[in-house]
Amino acid sequence: MQHLYQYVDGDRLREDITQTAKFGSVPVEDGNCRTVLTGTEANKRAREYFVKKLDERGLDVSIDAVGNIAGRWVPENADPTARSVATGSHLDSVVDGGQFDGVLGVYAGLEAIRAIQDASLSPDLPLEVVAFTEEEGGRFSDGVLGSSVAIGASNVADALATTDDTGVTLGEALEEIDFKGEERLDATAWDSWLELHVEQGTRLEETSVSAGIVTHITGTIRCHIDILGEADHAGTTSMESRVDALTAASELALEIESVTNEIVETHSETAVGTVGQFDVEPGSINVIPGSVHLGIDIRDIEYESMERIVSSIRRCLARLEDERAVETTFSRPYDIDPISMSDRCIATLHSAATQAGINTIELHSGAGHDTMHIAKVTDAGLVFAPSEGGYSHSAAEWTDWSDCTTSTRLLAGALYDLATE
Amino acid sequence: MQHLYQYVDGDRLREDITQTAKFGSVPVEDGNCRTVLTGTEANKRAREYFVKKLDERGLDVSIDAVGNIAGRWVPENADPTARSVATGSHLDSVVDGGQFDGVLGVYAGLEAIRAIQDASLSPDLPLEVVAFTEEEGGRFSDGVLGSSVAIGASNVADALATTDDTGVTLGEALEEIDFKGEERLDATAWDSWLELHVEQGTRLEETSVSAGIVTHITGTIRCHIDILGEADHAGTTSMESRVDALTAASELALEIESVTNEIVETHSETAVGTVGQFDVEPGSINVIPGSVHLGIDIRDIEYESMERIVSSIRRCLARLEDERAVETTFSRPYDIDPISMSDRCIATLHSAATQAGINTIELHSGAGHDTMHIAKVTDAGLVFAPSEGGYSHSAAEWTDWSDCTTSTRLLAGALYDLATE
């Protein structure tokens, strides 16, 4: 089946991505972004375009209760009741997001099926391409909502009752755009799953390869911390008598950076720790900060090193209470285990890469993806395409069209192999 | 004139302060604040009440072009063309401010004149009590606007053209409340000036005295700094490849604290350095901060130690650029010299305190006040009344009524002495 790779049509894939980029397009100084929040007009148009493309290739389209879209193709020789090999990603974006994040994976999946069809190949298992609802969490959730429902981790009623900032429910928003279907897409019924996604990092660019085979997706722990000092007059409060929440919070930020760097050097080079939120009150130039709220994001492929960072945060808070007389609060509302991709999928991807003559590297994913959920219920693999400069979630997000084509070839070969006994 | 002190009527003073607290009153969880921005209805009512109280005692009321209100009393034996001994403060407040800040000084000044009248004393010089416009800078300026005009540091036309956030000019706002008068109150024509103000610190409370005699008002330097890193995905950007603006800014905040503490210990115990503004962009939990804007406030009674802090900031920025690959910007738009109170006023206050049997301490002011301007053109003195817990600009602002009375007695005695040759 060497010739399958020739049927992967980069122009057709590019057409789908650039057409999709028009929905929710936001012109910005240095190019175009897209804002495609779940249940908006832009999301409706992106979904309709996808359904049209599925129809064109005779795929059996289903929309589930939370708006997950699946197109299923039963090859001529396949048993229609057999478990599918599935692929896909998502069509929603963050506010001012890029054109490849999610969209590449959806249309690479469809292009893989089109190529298998055009090559007149007939794998033994049905193939399915999926667009999950609300992966980004831009409107209704913390993200990966559709795949969470598809594995049964969230139930349909809870998901539909989730509200946006204005009180609109996901159910209402999906009805509004006519994409609230029936039943539940069931990922546990899949034989296996592969997702192609942009790397959103620079390791592929640095090693000049067109595709990366992901071995692990990092876990994520998020902590929310309040540091409470005393808001006071910056001029009349002596250095000795002030309880400055900002300088205490600054110590914590530097401690997190320092302990994470130490873990990277000595234990796990994939660990990252970030203080992304840092809200200072009252925030006036002549008032000593009375409080700082910190939002902290910790990731690694080893749960233990994430726990080390959390422990160091708690020790630092105790020390700050002791040395600086601040009060502190700590919560940890978000805790996701690292997960490994299946050996079978990794091996299949390596084999397909060899057959197609595509250079790859193995790497981990620092970002969560729908695959993070799917890997809990079936054999799952994740492929990365290079991100120019590592940029994502902005107008600067870019993947060379030739890399899109090459990584889609890898996806097509591996999907065919998984579906062929 | 020992008996003058008996004529200072604490109940009358309290009545004026509590009545004024009703204008712009804002109920909050733990009491009441007042929001009295220049040119608002609340400001109009506070001004009208003051004018009524000046009228009741036969003072000659004038409103100048920027809304400064003065009430002038020419004692029976005084030359009406002689230079006045002036006193006063301001009636405007910050948003959610307290009831003593400014108001105590205005009504203590009036009460001092009422007491001198009631004691049937007739000093040699006219006495004047003033409420300056826009001391707090809550709506139209960086503050101390009225006194800046009164010493000729700002001209009337420029002051009137100053706009609030919505584009309304000070001139329009004053006309709206019918307090745009004529000409310019001229502080250079005063023989001398005394202001009573709440301390907004805890030194009087700590030493259990009812009044403090201010020797210096600190200077203030404000710096604005941007630290520019690279906003990146918190999960996919390795520790090594990130340029985190927040951790760089945290180092700067700690450096400012550390160098100021060192100056306090070794050179000047009155030095303070504060990072009050610290705005992090984009401020999302999963994005490495791309920029931080810092607003820094530096004060001391010695200009040299303020300059030392600024130098250490500049060295720290150079080091951060070098070690962390951030870019930085630096500006210094606000630079006010420290100023000393006049020896004559300080001596008169000490003498009055001794006569009245009032215990005092000498201290410096870390906050700017209208007196900061007036001291440039005539002999000026500043008296502090204790602030409970040091709180100010909030509902927690409080000065015991007995301390209000005692500090007003000191003011009355010193004003009388200054006006009596």
How far B368 CA sits from the closest chain A CA (Å)? 8
Q: Which two tokens stand for residue A119?
A: 């090559």
Do A17 and A118 share a domain, yes or no? yes
Cross-chain CB nearest to B239 (options A201, A220, A261): A261
Range B181-200 average pLDDT:
97
- pLDDT attached to residue A286: 86
Do A34 and A141 share a domain, yes or no? yes
- pLDDT attached to residue B2: 57
Do A410 and A303 share a domain, yes or no? no
Would you call the peptide bond into A282 cis, given omega within 30 degrees of 0 as the criterion? yes
Least confident of A220-229, B25-34, B92-101, B352-361: B25-34
- What is the per-residue pLDDT across A8-51, written as a single tens digit (0 to 9) for each? 999 999 999 999 999 999 988 877 899 999 999 999 999 999 99
Instruction: Evaluate if residue B22 carries a pLDDT over 70.
Output: yes
Instruction: Evaluate if residue A168 carries a pLDDT over 70.
Output: yes
Residue predicted with more confidence, A27 or B161: B161
Do B154 and B70 share a domain, yes or no? yes
Closest CA to B384 of B144, B196, B158: B196
Cross-chain CB nearest to B250 (options A253, A286, A287): A253
Do B271 and B134 share a domain, yes or no? no
Q: For residue A163, what is the DSSP state?
A: B
Range B213-223 average pLDDT:
96
Q: In angstroms, rounded to a whole number, what is the distance separating the alpha carbons of residues B403 and B406?
A: 5
Q: In angstroms, rounded to a whole number, what is the distance separating the alpha carbons of residues A280 and B243?
A: 21
- pLDDT attached to residue B393: 85
CATH number of the domain that residue A258 is part of: 3.30.70.360
Q: Which two tokens stand for residue A376?
A: 């809990």
- pLDDT attached to residue A1: 56
Do B91 and B204 share a domain, yes or no? yes
Do A210 and A241 share a domain, yes or no? no
Range B48-65 average pLDDT:
98
A266 reaches B (C-beta below 8 A): no
Range A185-212 average pLDDT:
96
Instruction: Evaluate if residue B211 carries a pLDDT over 70.
Output: yes
Instruction: Evaluate if residue B160 carries a pLDDT over 90.
Output: yes
Do A173 and A313 share a domain, yes or no? no
Of A283, A305, A336, the residue at which a domain comes to its end is A336
Beta-carbon separation of A276 and B239 below 8 A: no
Do A22 and A129 share a domain, yes or no? yes
Name the band, by pLDDT with cuts 50, 70 and 90, for residue B203: very high
- pLDDT attached to residue B1: 57
Q: Which two tokens stand for residue A84?
A: 């599918």
How far A106 CA sits from the closest chain B CA (Å)? 21
Beta-carbon separation of B251 and A254 below 8 A: yes
Least confident of A37-51, A173-187, A227-241: A227-241
Of B285, B306, B336, the residue at which a domain comes to its end is B336
Beta-carbon separation of A274 and B280 below 8 A: no
CATH number of the domain that residue A12 is part of: 3.40.630.10
Of A310, A336, A362, the residue at which a domain comes to its end is A336
Per the structure, the complete domain to which residue B145 belongs is given by 2-217+339-419
Say which residue the tokens 């375009």 belong to.
A49
Closest-CA residue of B relative to A391 is B232
Q: For residue A326, what is the DSSP state?
A: -
- Give the DSSP letter string of B354-416: HHHT--EEEEEESS--HHHHHTTTSEEEEEEE--GGG--SSTT----HHHHHHHHHHHHHHHH
Do A212 and A82 share a domain, yes or no? yes
Domain count, chain B: 2
Name the band, by pLDDT with cuts 50, 70 and 90, for residue A421: confident
Chain B residues 306-365 within an 8 A CB cutoff of chain A: 365
Do B27 and B70 share a domain, yes or no? yes
Partners of residue A296 in chain B, C-beta under 8 Å: 285
Beta-carbon separation of A234 and B297 below 8 A: yes
Cα dihedral sign, B163-B167-B169-B175:
negative
Range A174-189 average pLDDT:
97
CA distances to A98, A284, B174 from B189, rounded to whole Å, are: 67, 36, 25
Do A19 and A144 share a domain, yes or no? yes
**Entry pTM:** 0.83
Q: In angstroms, rounded to a whole number, what is the distance separating the alpha carbons of residues A285 and A414?
A: 58
Closest CA to B111 of B129, B93, B135: B129
- pLDDT attached to residue A2: 57
Q: Which two tokens stand for residue B190?
A: 């005063």
CA distances to B7, B48, B209, B407 from B10, rounded to whole Å, are: 9, 22, 17, 10
Range A294-305 average pLDDT:
96
Cross-chain CB nearest to A287 (options B220, B236, B276): B276
How far B290 CA sits from the closest chain A CA (Å)? 9
Q: In angstroms, rounded to a whole number, what is the distance separating the alpha carbons of residues B16 and B401?
A: 12
Instruction: Evaluate if residue A388 carries a pLDDT over 80.
Output: yes
| Beta-carbon pairs below 8 A across chains A and B | 187
Chain A residues 374-393 within an 8 A CB cutoff of chain B: 390, 392-393
Q: For residue B165, what is the DSSP state?
A: T
Supply the ipTM of this predicted assembly. Answer: 0.83
In sequence order, the 6+-apart residues with CB closer than 8 A to the CB of A265 are none
Cross-chain CB nearest to A236 (options B199, B235, B279): B199
